Amino acid sequence: ATAGMYLLRNDWRLTACAPAKVNLSLEVLARRPDGFHELETLMLAVDVCDTLSLEPTPAPQITLHCQWATGLVAARRVYERTGLPVSAQAWSDLPAAHDNLVWQALHLLQTTAGIRLGANVILTKRIPAQAGLGGASADAAAALLVANQAWQLHWTTARLCELAAQLGSDVPFFVTSGAAICRGRGERIEAIRPPRCWLVIVRPPVGLSTPAVFRGCQPEPNRRATAVVRAALDRGDLSAAAQGMHNGLQGPAEALSLWIGKLREAFARTGCIGHQMSGSGSSYFGLFWHAAQARRAAARLRGQNIGAVMMAQTAGISTIGSGHKQATL
């Protein structure tokens, strides 16, 4: 069961929500000989979501139509159109399908499972790219979970996770959990109970490349920020958790982009409980106790021209999909 994921099912099209994540801690423990870094990170899914809708097909082709949601109209259109044949012209298939992690996930599952069914996928994006919010990984995980059902494979989560780890370091998190400590490359998942809080997330006008940010980082093997944040969350002490937050990639990101420092200063003036960059950036978030505080901060930040401002809640306790027939995957 994946917090934040839900499934809309009708005759032949399955629709799932693919939530973004933020990192309350991200510690780079060591460089590894394989070019990756040994990490310890505490990740929370939040209810800024892409929508992935999949129709299984008898022919083995996998087709992917991808578009940016433009507010509620596009979102509603997806829900209303669920189950209806979608005209190809109505959707721009902008990213080359084979470069998209969703296509790669479905292809990998299809070949590993040795099946000859295909899929017709519509991906509606709301999670910004190059943002450290895990958008592409969330989409890939949603694709695996939905295809597992649509193709009636009955694979266990553990088995799906092995494929997920081949697709990207963050994908296993989205397959298994809405709140977790992730270790190794990021693929070793220990689920935790998600805290209840509100977030404001800002994606500045310029994104950051994950490999470039990692190249600039200095491993810190003994900081133990993740343990501090986790212990605070276990006690239900969100203030202490926010105070203990640390992102080892923020320094190198600030060296690459002036936006990160600007966002740090802007968030310091919002009265949030704590703030930092998410993942390898470039998005930045603040934590808030109440929706009203987050709403006020979001309004102030929107007036400062520092990027796209989103308000979110931790996905495990959100009302994603309410009003629709839903089931937890």
Chain contacts with ligand C5P (rule: CB under 6 A): 36-37, 39, 168-170, 185-186, 210-211, 214
262 carries an active-site annotation: no
Which element (helix H / strand E) includes 294? helix 291-302
- Residues with Cβ < 8 Å from 41, sequence gap 6 or more? 23, 25, 26, 27, 181, 182, 183, 186, 226
Residue list, annotated binding site for ATP:
128-138
CA dihedral 193, 197, 202, 207 (to 10 degrees): 0
Radius of gyration of the chain (CA): 19
- Tell me whether residue 83 or residue 184 sits nearer to ligand C5P (CB atom): 184
Q: Identify the active-site residue in 47, 50, 139, 170.
A: 170
- Tell me whether residue 218 or residue 319 sits nearer to ligand C5P (CB atom): 218
Q: Which residue has the tokens 């697709």?
A: 167
- Tell me whether residue 32 or residue 324 sits nearer to ligand C5P (CB atom): 32
- Residues with Cβ < 8 Å from 309, sequence gap 6 or more? 200, 201, 202, 298, 301, 302
- Tell me whether residue 173 or residue 259 sits nearer to ligand C5P (CB atom): 173
Nearest approach, Cβ of residue 137 and ligand C5P (Å): 7
Residue list, annotated binding site:
128-138
* φ, ψ for residue 186, nearest 5 deg: 130, -5
Nearest approach, Cβ of residue 61 and ligand C5P (Å): 26
d(CA 19, CA 127) in angstroms, rounded, equals 8
Cis preceding linkage at 282, omega within 30: yes
Nearest approach, Cβ of residue 36 and ligand C5P (Å): 4
11 carries an active-site annotation: no
Nearest approach, Cβ of residue 304 and ligand C5P (Å): 30
Query: Which residues are tagged catalytic?
Result: 21, 170
